[in-house]
Amino acid sequence: DAGITQSPRHKVTETGTPVTLRCHQTENHRYMYWYRQDPGHGLRLIHYSYGVKDTDKGEVSDGYSVSRSKTEDFLLTLESATSSQTSVYFCAIRGGPTVNEKLFFGSGTQLSVL
Amino acid sequence: DQQVKQNSPSLSVQEGRISILNCDYTNSMFDYFLWYKKYPAEGPTFLISISSIKDKNEDGRFTVFLNKSAKHLSLHIVPSQPGDSAVYFCAASGSQGGSEKLVFGKGTKLTVNP
């Protein structure tokens, strides 16, 4: 299994509070991704990173920010959580830029915003 | 605008029979296609892929077929086993979207009955 750890695995928070989800990898992979999975929507890309301090937006980036200060860590922050951000969040890593390099996913973080 | 469509949210088959999962895409620039499998409470895992230069790729019980003219691909599982019960995501990538990003469908939940 690829060395990806997401923390926390479960979180319940209140509307308006800041939340940070952490993705840690031990593979030294360059590319890291944050996806959210929702019923009826599948997997949607929030943000991704192609190197330390190099990040870009995905299709559902509003309300989210990311940071990558080290190769191994990619943080996803909800500045002010809303109920629409209740979801399962998956981190993924890839060694190279092309899809021939497989995407490996973490086990997910279940976030509930009340 | 959904670029990758999995129009069947669920599929139920008997053990030993063939499972056929379908996926349609709209972006003619997509040139690489993948299937991921997801069990509950786990992250998605790579299953099989196909490049647009091929029309078939086989890996054990799993075969993916690509019909470029119809912008359609399908995943065949023969014979189906109860352990194949999972959600299957179709994903696509291409030069227009940037090869570092995958676009996922909404998923099809496969249930294989003993």
CATH number of the domain encompassing residue A40: 2.60.40.10
pLDDT average, residue stretch B12-17: 97
Interatomic CA distance for residues A61 and A34, integer angstroms: 10
Whether residue B95 has pLDDT greater than 60: no
CATH number of the domain encompassing residue B103: 2.60.40.10
What is the total count of domains within chain A?
1
Which residues 6+ apart lie within 8 Å of A71 measured at CB? Answer: A25, A28, A29, A30, A52
B97 pLDDT band, cuts 50/70/90, is very low
Residues of A whose CB is below 8 A from B105: 42
Inter-chain residue contact B42 with A100, CB threshold 8 Å: no
Contacts 24+ apart (CB under 8 A), A57-66: A58/A33, A58/A34, A58/B101, A60/A36, A64/A34, A66/A34
Q: What is the pLDDT of residues A65-104, one digit of tens each?
A: 999 999 999 999 999 999 999 999 999 998 766 656 678 9
Domain that holds residue A108: 4-113
Determine the distance in angstroms separating the CA of B89 from the nearest CA of chain A, rounded to an integer.
8
Nearest to A107 among B6, B42, B107 (CB): B42
What is the total count of domains within chain B?
1
Burial of A76 from C-beta contacts in 10 A (0-12 / 13-18 / 19+): buried
Could you tell me what percent of chain B has a pLDDT over 70?
94
Domain that holds residue B93: 4-113
Inter-chain residue contact B34 with A99, CB threshold 8 Å: yes
Q: What is the pLDDT of residues A33-54, one digit of tens each?
A: 999 999 888 899 999 998 999 9
Inter-chain residue contact B104 with A43, CB threshold 8 Å: yes
Determine the distance in angstroms separating the CA of B82 from the nearest CA of chain A, rounded to an integer.
22
Sheet architecture: strand order including B56-59: B4-5, B19-25, B72-77, B62-67, B56-59
The SS3 call for residue A73 is strand
* Contact predicate A56/A64, CB 8 Å: no
Q: Which two tokens stand for residue A72?
A: 């191994």
